[in-house]
Amino acid sequence: MVDKGAEAIWVEKYRPSSLKEMVGQEAIVPLLRAYAEKRSMPHLLFAGPPGTGKTTAAIALARDLYGSEWRQNFLELNASDSRGIDTVRTTIKEYARTSSFGEVGFKILFLDEADNLTSEAQASLRRMMERYSGSCRFILSCNYSSRIIDPIQSRCAVFRFRAYSTEAVRTQLERVAQAEGKKIAPDAMETILAACAGDLRRGVNLLQLTATHTDHVTAETVKEYATVPLRREVEAMLSAALAGRFVEARDRLYRVFTERGASGEDILRAIHSYLPDIPETVLSAREKVRLVEYLGEVDFRLAEGASDRIQLEAVLAHVAVGRPEGK
């Protein structure tokens, strides 16, 4: 465990050290615990959104498997830093071919963000997984399993992590706050839950950020530090667009970018989550379907590196087109 000093990052400070301590992911954790108890496991593929416990599950599994020797038998690499074939042929190969320490007959190599590996590197990795399966088990983590080639997926037990439920995030935040001697106002808790949207890591980071200089976290403090668009801001922005006031909607969009520091993906997710609550008298079911389809296109463009501002302006223009100018 990370030193529980005052300067520790809470995400690391309160990261579960065992699978028994993990919250949420009820369909996954019992299977991983069975692997640890039997001291046997296949290659694993963890897929799911950020902040859903993929890295925590890998580390906790290693701790339960190896005990005090887990660091000697566990290597974590990030494919975003080294995504080419040279990394697979050197670092990964050198680690996978060596023997493990202790009673467990294999080591674990955890490759985070494996979906960032090039196709050539993935093909080489697949050969490594075959050749060194006796001495090393691979745990691959990714946000999008569709970016992992089929030969690798077929060699792994695939676990799909879901965004944490509101209650699971609430429970963990309350535990952290109690351990740190902090109080969270009810409306502040709801604001944090809305901002993190099932991302537990984001929720804990936001709690630490807002509780740095106070022992009582309020909604106003959270709103001041939140880096994602809040519900009322997105609602006001879309309402202007739905009323045909594109210029006003664009101005509100710019404020969310500049004052909140939100990313295009954050705003797009907030729009998507707000759509079901728009009355059908304002936006019909058919129009919602078409808008969701368009949001999917914009999400792909953002993932491919398109401009956040231009794409989100296009969304507002798409909403405002054909609507009479509001007063």
If you write DSSP's letter for every residue of 166-224 in order, what string do you get?
HHHHHHHHHHHHHHHT-EE-HHHHHHHHHHHTT-HHHHHHHHHHHTTT-SEE-HHHHHH
Helix count (H) and strand count (E) of the chain?
A: 16, 7
Element housing 95 (H / E): helix 93-96
| Residue type for position 218 | T
**Are both 18 and 148 inside the same structural domain?**
yes
Is 42:133 a contact under the CB 8 Å cutoff? no
pLDDT at 2: 43
Mean pLDDT of the chain: 87
Is 115:142 a contact under the CB 8 Å cutoff? yes
160, 180, 197 — which closes off a domain? 160
pLDDT tens track for 124-166: 899 999 999 889 999 999 998 999 999 999 999 999 999 999 9
For residue 327, pLDDT over 50 is answered with no
Q: Could you tell me if residue 5 is inside a domain?
A: no
The structure tokens 């740095």 sit at: 212
Task: Annotate 291-322 with b (16+ C-beta within 10 A) or e (fewer).
Answer: beeebeebbebbeeeeebeebbbbbbebbbee
**Are both 15 and 134 inside the same structural domain?**
yes
End-to-end alpha carbon distance in the chain: 59
pLDDT tens track for 72-102: 999 998 876 655 566 677 788 888 888 888 8
**Are both 152 and 43 inside the same structural domain?**
yes
Report d(CA 85, CA 72) in Å as an integer. Answer: 25
Choose among 200, 201, 204: nearest CA to 177: 204
Copy the structure tokens of residue 234.
């997105």
Copy the structure tokens of residue 99.
């023997």
By residue range, what is the domain housing residue 252?
Answer: 231-320
pLDDT tens track for 284-326: 888 889 999 999 999 999 988 899 999 999 999 999 886 655 4
Element housing 207 (H / E): helix 200-210
Q: Could you tell me if residue 264 is inside a domain?
A: yes
Q: Could you tell me if residue 4 is inside a domain?
A: no
| CATH code of the domain covering residue 144 | 3.40.50.300
160, 194, 217 — which closes off a domain? 160
Q: Could you tell me if residue 327 is inside a domain?
A: no
**Are both 174 and 154 inside the same structural domain?**
no
Domains in the chain, number: 3
Copy the structure tokens of residue 46.
């963890």
Report d(CA 267, CA 271) in Å as an integer. Answer: 6
Q: Could you tell me if residue 115 is inside a domain?
A: yes
180, 208, 225 — which closes off a domain? 225
| CATH code of the domain covering residue 212 | 1.10.8.60
**Are both 79 and 43 inside the same structural domain?**
yes
**Are both 113 and 184 inside the same structural domain?**
no
**Are both 77 and 118 inside the same structural domain?**
yes
Q: Could you tell me if residue 140 is inside a domain?
A: yes
For residue 1, pLDDT over 60 is answered with no
**Are both 58 and 151 inside the same structural domain?**
yes
User: CA distances (Å), 250 to each of 33, 140, 267, 283, 326, in order?
Assistant: 50, 40, 13, 19, 15
| CATH code of the domain covering residue 251 | 1.20.272.10
**Are both 250 and 112 inside the same structural domain?**
no
User: Judging by DSSP bridges, how do beta strands 156-160 and 136-142 pair with one another?
Assistant: unpaired
**Are both 146 and 237 inside the same structural domain?**
no
Q: Could you tell me if residue 326 is inside a domain?
A: no
Q: Could you tell me if residue 188 is inside a domain?
A: yes
pLDDT band at 191 (very low <50, low <70, confident <90, very high): confident
**Are both 143 and 192 inside the same structural domain?**
no
pLDDT tens track for 261-286: 778 888 898 888 888 888 888 888 88
**Are both 174 and 58 inside the same structural domain?**
no
